[in-house]
Structure 1
C-alpha cells in the first residue's frame, strides 16, 4: 500500500472538492466553486477518461454532481437522452445514488428499502435515519447537533452506511469475474451527526484529542475569519459541551464506516479479486469540530 501524507483536498466544501477529484483540476479551473454549482459540460471527468478505454465507471453513493443544463441545452443535447444522463451523472453509471442531504429520490432505492424493512411513512429517512426518539416520544431531529447524544431510530443494519455497502456488494456479485470499476462513495461521517446504536456511544469525550484552538486566535482575526466565527455552527462548537458530545459520535460513525469497508474487502478476498483490485481511499473534507473556534467544514482559518 502507498500512503500520500502530503495530499490535501482542494476545497473545504463537498461539491468543489469532489469535482476536483473527478476532473483532476483545481476549483478555479473546473468552475464548481460551491455546492449546487453545475459542473460545466466541457469538463471531462474520470468516467469520461475511462470510457475512452472502453470501461464504465459505476457509482454507489454520493457525488454532489449538478448537471450543467444550460450548457447541455446550448449544445442541443436532448433532456433524458443518453448524453444528457451521462453528463448529469458526472460520467458515472449510476447503480444507486444517494446524497444524504435530504430524503432519497428516485435515483436511489433507499426509501423503498426502508419501507420494506418496517420503517413506514411518507419520509422514513427523516423519521428514522436522521431522527431519534425524543423524551416525549416525538421525533428528535438530528439536525443542528441538538440531539447528537441520541441513537438514530434506524437499526445499524439498515442505516445509510449499511445500505450503501449492501448495494455495492450486490453490484460486485453481479459482475462476477468481469472487469469493473466502482466509485463507492459513503455519506457518513457527515452531518447530521446522528449514529445508530451501538455507534452513538462507542466513544466518550475522554477518548478524544483536545480541541486545537488558542485564545489568541480571537484577538483581531481577519474580518472574514471573524465573520465565520459568528456563524451558528462556529458558535455552537464554541461550547465545550457540544464538542464533548459531537466528537465521540463523529468517531463512532467512522468506526461504523471502517466495519463496512471491511465487509467489501472481505467480499473481494472471498471472490479471489482482492489481489487484482486497486483500492483508493480518499475523502472530500473533514470537519473542524471546534478547532480554531470554527465548526463544520466550509470555512477556513
Structure 2
C-alpha cells in the first residue's frame, strides 16, 4: 500500500495575496514561503468563501459555505454537528494537531451584538424555542476558546478531540494581545508578562504613528509567532517517533492588527519605501465618502475591528509594520521547514499555505476588513507544494475558493469525502463558472445605517456585489480596471454584462445549495 503523505497546513491571518514575494511584491522579504511556491503550485485567483475570520475558517474546516455551516460571522461558533475534514483524516489513521490560532469559537467573552428581543405584545416562547436551531451553540462546549475563562490549557478541557484535532495548543487574539495557551506559556517564561503587553507598556518610538500601532515591549522570543514555531517543531519531533502520517495545522495570528512587530521586525522596513495603492483615496461610494469624512472630523475612533479611512503617512507606516510581521512569520516558517528536513520527513510532507482573508491596506484609502469586497480583501494566497509530485503547473489562474481546501486534502490523502462537502479537488476537477463570497455583518459600521448582507460573484473577468436593502451595488471589469475604481453597475453600456452576471450568480448559488443530509428512505 502506498504510503500516505504528511501535511503541514500553514495559515496566516488577514494576509493579502500581494504581500508575498512570490506574488510579485518586491519589498517584503518572504524567502521561505517563496521557496514553497517555487517547488509547487501557486493560485493567483483564490477567493475566500467569507472575508471574516470565523466564517471562513469554518468553511476551510468543513468545505462548505457559511450559509450552510451556520457560522455566518464572528460570534457564531462552528457547530460540533458539522463534520470536518480533519475528523476524516484522523479516522483514516492520521495524527492531527492544531498549533496557533483556531478561531472556530469566540474568544472575546463579550456579549453578543444581536439578541432575541421579547415582544411585550406577544406571547414569548421559552429560551429553547427562540431559535430555529435547538442546538444553538450557546452551551459550555462552545466556550472553549473564551480567553476570559482560560485558566488551564485547552488540551486539559477536552477529550483529545477538538473538531478532529487530537493535539491542540491555541493562541487567541492578535499582536501582543494574544492569549490562550500561548499566554499561559508566556507567563511561565516571564511571571510579570502583563507588564510588557499593550500600548500602555509600549517602548518609546517615533515615525510610525498610526491607528493601532505601538512598539511592543514583548521580546521576539516571547512573541506568539516564535511560540507557534517552537511548539510546532517539538510536536513534529514527537510525532516522527511514531509510524503514523500526520496533519499539522500551524496557524499564525499575524499579520492581523494591532501593528506591533517585536524586536528587529519593528523597524525592518522603511515607510518611505512603501508605495500607496493606485486607488488610494479614490472612489465615491457612500461608505468611502463617509469614512473619509469621519477621519477628517475625528468622529471615527479607528481603534476597533471596523474598517476606517487612513492618511497617506498612516498607510505607509502600517504597510511597513505589516511587512515586519509578515517577515517574522516567514522566518518562523523557515524554522519548521528546516525541522521537516532534519527529521527526514520533508520528502513526504505536502506543504500548504493560505490565509483566512485579506486587508484593504490602503486600497481606496481604507484599512482592515469588512463590507467592501475589493480584491485585497477577498483574494488570498494559496500555495500547494507536494514533493512526491512534479510541479508541472507552477501558476494556476483557475478560479478557486477556500471551500476547495478540504476536498483537495482529502483526495490527496486517499480519503473519501462526506456527503454535502461543496468544495472541489483542485487537481482533478473543472473550475466553476464563478466564485461566490458571502458576508453577513452583525453591527452597524461607519458609512452604513444598518448591518449589511452582501453577496459577491467573481468570474474570470468581473466582480459584482449585491447588498440587501441598499440602493447602490457594484460591478467592476477586473481585466480593464484591476484596481476597481470604475463602478459599472448603473452604466447603460454594461447592463447586458450585469444581467449575465446576475444569472451566473443565481446558477452558482443554486449549485451551492445543501445536499445534506442524505435521505433515510427511498421515496
1:185-243: CA deviation from partner (whole Å, max 9, x where unpaired): 0111111110112111111123323224255512xx1x466566656448854212211
Question: Structure 1 residue 54: deviation in Å?
Answer: 2.8
The residue that corresponds to 2:258 in the other structure is: 192
Aligned pairs, how many?
282
Matched residue of 2:41: which SS? Answer: coil
Indicate yes or no: 2:249 matched with 1:183: yes
Q: How does 1:33-112 map to 2 (within 5 A)?
A: 33-66=72-105, 71=135, 85=158, 89-101=162-174, 102=177, 104-105=179-180, 108=181, 110-112=182-184
Structure with higher helix content? 1
**Change in 2 beyond 3 A, CA 1:131/1:100:** farther
Question: Structure 1 residue 93: deviation in Å?
Answer: 2.5
The residue that corresponds to 2:66 in the other structure is: 27
Matched residue of 1:181: which SS? Answer: strand
1:126 alignment partner, one of 178, 183, 197: 197
92-101 vs 282-291, which deviates more? 92-101
Select the structure with the greater relative contact order (CA < 8 A; seq sep ≥ 6): 2
Structure 1's unaligned 5+ residue stretches are 136-141
- TM value normalised by structure 2: 0.48
1:248 and 1:163 mapped to 2: Cα distance? 23
Question: Structure 1 residue 273: deviation in Å?
Answer: 0.7
Larger Rg: 2
- TM value normalised by structure 1: 0.80
The residue that corresponds to 2:233 in the other structure is: 169
1:127 and 1:250 mapped to 2: Cα distance? 17
1:288 alignment partner, one of 350, 353, 360: 360
The residue that corresponds to 1:254 in the other structure is: 326
The residue that corresponds to 2:272 in the other structure is: 206
1:40 and 1:147 mapped to 2: Cα distance? 32
Is residue 218–residue 262 contact of structure 2 (8 Å, CA) maintained in 1?
Answer: yes
2:173 and 2:238 mapped to 1: Cα distance? 25
Question: Structure 1 residue 12: deviation in Å?
Answer: 1.6
1:244 and 1:276 mapped to 2: Cα distance? 41
Is residue 66–residue 88 contact of structure 1 (8 Å, CA) maintained in 2?
Answer: no
The residue that corresponds to 1:157 in the other structure is: 221
2:338 alignment partner, one of 261, 266, 269: 266
Question: Structure 1 residue 45: deviation in Å?
Answer: 1.0
Question: Structure 1 residue 176: deviation in Å?
Answer: 2.2
**Change in 2 beyond 3 A, CA 1:192/1:232:** same
1:65 and 1:2 mapped to 2: Cα distance? 28
2:162 and 2:332 mapped to 1: Cα distance? 25
Structure with higher strand content? 2
